[in-house]
A = this chain, B = another copy of it.
Amino acid sequence: MAQSHPVKDSFVNNAWYVAAWDREVTREPMARTYLNQPVTLFRREDGTPVALEDRCCHRHYPLSQSKVEGNNIRCGYHGLLFDAAGVCIEIPGQDRIPHDARVRSYPTVEKYGWVWIWMGDPALADVAKLPNWWWCEHKDWAFTKPDMLYIPCNYQLVTDNLLDVTHLAYVHATSIGTAAITEFPIAVDRSDEHVRMTRWVIDRPAPPMYQTFGQFPGTADRGQIVEFRPPAFTVNFAQVADHGTGAPEGQQGTRRIDLMALSAPTPETETTTHYFFGFVRNFGLEDPKLEQMMAVNFVNVFKEDVGVLTAQQMRMDSMPDAPQIDIRVDIPPNAARRIVNQLRAAERQTPGAVANAAE
């Protein structure tokens, strides 16, 4: 049935988001906005990342245009000095520091090559709530770390895209897509905390890029497993094996290609996204040519989606009240949206949990 497209505010506050690649955060303060909130990121002397509201509490000057002094940051306008917790510890020209001379600080954690930020109630920040992407740190896996893609679209459009395999045939026709894939059924399982979509494409030629990687002599069996965890973490798992070697039934050790795309789109605003992603693989770990193919060819596949998502958001913006219909391939993305909506509804019923949010 036709329905209007999603409401505007779609943010879950009490969650970890990727703030930056670890290589982006230095002793020079940087500026980036998450969930509509401007933040400055820098590192303490011991390297610990710090995330503060990017606005001096005195006269609104961006701290990202200020100077780090030791573990503190000094406003570039009137010289107020803030510690890593956002507390003002020095005001030029006076001894007394008002109790409300502070800026918001955000919990951060460094993990899997990324600096993560918690945008909601700091008391709820828990490292255990990070996604378990252990491959990024395991010696048997190689981790390709492309630069963030900035996409002028709502972050959930990125997740929709990752949870849909139909578009491979249309958007990625010349790289990883084949028309065959829509012939095979999707199995979906879900809980309050995940959506997992599985499809096996049996006895078909491997798409061009996989063929290059895997050198399949005949047809292949290809598994596409996409797993979503809220608010916006998606693992696209691809396994490609010679046809008939039992991979779909769970036979071990038969796969030639075993790789995952890890996605963590972070909302900047309702209509713009910092899209962080990476690839892990358990084959050809030291192969520089293969690494090059991952870092270039595979990244290019992801870049093919940027124009699509940009155009989609552009039209949603120009026709905000237009209805939309659902089709069968929307089952996984719609299930993911339901989880996000439940989290948001729960959060909105616990006012204290988002008390600090500057939404």
Residues of A whose CB lies within 8 Å of any CB of B are 1-2, 5, 38, 54-55, 57-62, 65, 74-80, 91-94, 98, 100-101, 160, 164, 166-167, 169-171, 182, 307-308, 311-312, 314-316, 318-319, 322-329, 358
- B170 A76 Cβ-Cβ under 8 A: yes
- A59 B100 Cβ-Cβ under 8 A: no
- B322 A60 Cβ-Cβ under 8 A: yes
- A98 B65 Cβ-Cβ under 8 A: no
* Complex contacts, A315 vs chain B, CB 8 Å: 38, 54-55, 60-62
Report the Cα distance A326→B329, complex, angstroms: 56
* Complex contacts, A54 vs chain B, CB 8 Å: 315
- A324 B166 Cβ-Cβ under 8 A: no
Known interface pairs A76-B170, A79-B166. Does A92 touch B318 (Cβ–Cβ under 8 Å)?
A: no
Name which of A5, A62, A326 has the most chain B CB atoms within 10 A of its CB.
A62
Known interface pairs A76-B308, A312-B59. Does A169 touch B92 (Cβ–Cβ under 8 Å)?
A: yes
- A308 B171 Cβ-Cβ under 8 A: no
Known interface pairs A1-B100, A62-B315, A315-B55. Does A169 touch B79 (Cβ–Cβ under 8 Å)?
A: yes
Rounded to whole Å, the gap between the CB of A201 and the closest CB of chain B is 13
Known interface pairs A76-B170, A92-B166, A327-B93. Does A318 touch B38 (Cβ–Cβ under 8 Å)?
A: yes
- A311 B65 Cβ-Cβ under 8 A: yes
Known interface pairs A38-B318, A182-B92. Does A327 touch B78 (Cβ–Cβ under 8 Å)?
A: yes
Output the nearest chain B residue to A161 by Cβ-Cβ distance. Answer: B77
Q: Which of B93, B312, B324 contacts A328 (CB 8 A)?
A: B93
Known interface pairs A38-B319, A328-B94. Does A164 touch B78 (Cβ–Cβ under 8 Å)?
A: yes
* Complex contacts, A324 vs chain B, CB 8 Å: 57-60
Report the Cα distance A326→B64, complex, angstroms: 21
Q: What are 7 A-to-B residue pairs whose CB atoms are below 8 Å?
A: A1-B100, A76-B308, A79-B169, A92-B182, A92-B329, A94-B329, A101-B327
* Complex contacts, A325 vs chain B, CB 8 Å: 57-58, 98, 100-101
Report the Cα distance A326→B328, complex, angstroms: 58
* Complex contacts, A60 vs chain B, CB 8 Å: 5, 312, 315-316, 319, 322, 324
- B308 A77 Cβ-Cβ under 8 A: yes
Output the nearest chain B residue to A316 by Cβ-Cβ distance. Answer: B60
* Complex contacts, A58 vs chain B, CB 8 Å: 324-327
